Amino acid sequence: MDQLKNVEIEKKSVEQKYDKGMVASTFIKYAAYIIIFFGFLYFIVRYVFPAFQ
């Protein structure tokens, strides 16, 4: 029973390092994708759909 209590526990601290500039540029990129997508949808609804009526 004493052998089971003699256990060494190794603790590791993991630090995630990230560049805030990289996060910001990724956000801007995807925000631009969303704006372009909604702009394209607006163009279709405003100009293409009325052409078929």
For the question of whether the overall pTM of this predicted structure is more than 0.85, the answer is no
In a domain, 12, yes or no: no
Q: Which residues form the domain of 47?
A: 20-53
Q: What is the pLDDT along the chain (53 residues), one digit of tens a residue?
A: 555 666 678 888 877 777 888 889 999 999 999 999 999 999 999 999 888 87
Number of domains in the chain: 1
In a domain, 30, yes or no: yes
CA dist 4 → 1, 27, 32, 39, 46 (Å):
6, 51, 58, 66, 74
